[in-house]
A = this chain, B = another copy of it.
Amino acid sequence: MITGKSLIAGNWEEGLGEEFSSYNPVDDKKLNDFKGVNASQINIAVIQATIAYSSFKSLNFDERATFIEDVASEIENLGDELLEVCNEETGLGLPRLKGERGRTCGQLRAFANLIREGSWQQASIDTALLARIPLPKPDIRRVLQPLGPVAVFSASNFPLAFSTLGGDTASALAAGNPVIVKGHPSHPATSELCAKAIEKAIEKNNLSKGIFSLLQGGSPSVSSNLVQHPNVEAVGFTGSTHVGRILFNLAASRPKPIPVYAEMGSTNPLFVLPNAIGNRGRDIAKGLAGSVTLGTGQFCTKPGLVFIVKSENSETFKDALVTSINDIQTGNLLNQGVKSGLNKKLKENAARKEVATLAGGSINEGTVFSIQGKDFLKYPELEDEIFGPVVLVVECEDMEELMGVAKQLNGHLTGTIHSDNDKESIALKEILEDKVGRIIYNGFPTGVEVCSSMHHGGPYPSSTSVLATSVGIAAIKRFCKVTCYQNAPQEHLPEALKNENPRGIVRLLNGKYSTERL
């Protein structure tokens, strides 16, 4: 039974703000009614999070890791109901949602392992030199610590892996921060079920209930009130550049500014260089069609721009892309907003005389547009993300024009190079290093590994920080602060900085990595 309520620091409460409803995106039928929270309820959630912070941060590593593993188990314990409710709200299909649930639980467990391992705190110890001339050197130790209450804004396109208990929540909790989630209004029942899972894990571990709240709401005021609450210390956001920037601006203009880690719009340019298009153009086209339509084109890393140099081979490539896209039965779009947004963008492109429609053209199918390189530069908006299974092929006269266009690009999450000549492509790589967060070779950008080396971020407008990732275990650093201790007694130091190092945590010891005790 879906209650339509919000979980506010352990209490399921009916919202006192604006009502909204959830819909099945496949048949547009109404599913459930929800009541959004009001300012006073937001305030209670944040105040309770602030109070809970002090006990939550003082848990030891094992206690926090066990709690996070229990969250994963409780998600699994929701069983098929979670997948069915989520499918009703998103139309993403049970196989995909089953996979996404696996990823969600996997990423929670990866953070639990990370906490236990300990090196994420980046402990660093410089020991004292009492005999140093002219002044003794003090004992200095530094470590990453939790921040305080973190606000998380869920994404619509990953209702499990980047929503209520997704990567932002997992990384913020793992670091030791209470979390207040603003649920996405396009899958509120899914959020409610996930909140029930975390509620059970909190009860099982006897933790303070203030460490988690789920605030339902469809009104922008819920978001702005949450970001502006003086006790919120950081924000995680996945969504559009438009909304991400509004939240960023609100956070930057607070009396005490806070960071907004926003993962926003990206069109993920993909370059097929002449040698590669000659050698394996058809295969690349087929793979590209799959990447463009994966998740109905609603992935942050969907390649929406393809750059090629005109030739006979490029004609074959385009034909193969069109054939491949036409062969693919696209899935459902996530909600009415995505449908109308896509429809608008398709119409705008079709109306541009320089843009040709090679395949599709409606919201129910994969679409391939094309444009000449020189015309592409006339319309800066062509670089903006189109959410849906759409790709624009940019046909350049020669490599010089292609490189010139590449230099004009804004920031994206990824850039992809298809090339069979590493020397020829090195200049393009050098351009992309300043344009994207991840460079993929001879592959496709969709499919983001959760591992230590992953970076899911990039220059603005794809994200708000070129140092932060929202996927992969490095995501935990966003929700930390540095604390440094000078000549501190042992019992005042956090575990990772004590002389004893029973876990063998990797630490910088006088500038060298070491697992030794002192």
**Given the complex of chains A and B, what is the CA–CA distance between A511 and B257 in angstroms?**
34
Pick the residue among B437, B459, B485 that contacts A439 (CB under 8 A).
Answer: B485
**Given the complex of chains A and B, what is the CA–CA distance between A506 and B147 in angstroms?**
28
- Of A192-200, A311-319, A339-347, A461-469, the one contacting chain B is A461-469
Contact check, A441 vs B513: say whether CB atoms are below 8 A apart.
Answer: no
Task: Return A484 CB to nearest CB of chain B, in Å.
Answer: 4
Write the chain B residue with the least CB distance to A449: B140
Interface bits A113-142 vs B (CB < 8 Å: 1, else 0): 000000100001110000000010110111
**Given the complex of chains A and B, what is the CA–CA distance between A58 and B431 in angstroms?**
12
A508 CB–B CB distance under 8 Å: yes
Chain B residues positioned under 8 Å from A249 (CB to CB): 252-253
Chain B residues positioned under 8 Å from A138 (CB to CB): 440, 443, 449
Write the chain B residue with the least CB distance to A233: B466
A360 CB–B CB distance under 8 Å: no
Contact check, A484 vs B443: say whether CB atoms are below 8 A apart.
Answer: no
- Of A40-48, A267-275, A474-482, the one contacting chain B is A474-482
Among A487-515, those with CB < 8 Å from B are 487-489, 491-492, 506, 508, 510-511, 513
**Given the complex of chains A and B, what is the CA–CA distance between A423 and B489 in angstroms?**
10
Contact check, A483 vs B140: say whether CB atoms are below 8 A apart.
Answer: no
Task: Return A317 CB to nearest CB of chain B, in Å.
Answer: 21
Point out residues on A near B: beta carbons under 8 Å: 54, 58, 119, 124-126, 135, 137-138, 140-142, 145, 147-148, 248-249, 252-253, 256-257, 259, 410-411, 422-423, 425-426, 429-430, 433-434, 437-443, 447, 449, 451-455, 457, 459-461, 464-467, 469, 474, 477, 480-489, 491-492, 506, 508, 510-511, 513
With contacts A438-B486, A455-B484 known, what are 14 further pairs, Cβ within 8 A?
Answer: A140-B449, A148-B434, A249-B252, A249-B253, A256-B460, A257-B460, A423-B491, A426-B492, A439-B488, A441-B485, A441-B492, A453-B508, A459-B481, A467-B482
Closest 3 CB pairs of A and B: A466-B481, A455-B484, A252-B252
> Would you mind naming 28 contact pairs between A and B with Cβ atoms under 8 Å apart?
A124-B452, A125-B453, A140-B453, A140-B454, A147-B466, A249-B252, A249-B253, A257-B464, A422-B489, A423-B491, A429-B488, A433-B483, A437-B483, A438-B485, A438-B486, A439-B483, A439-B488, A440-B486, A441-B485, A441-B487, A443-B486, A443-B487, A452-B508, A452-B510, A466-B482, A467-B482, A474-B482, A513-B513
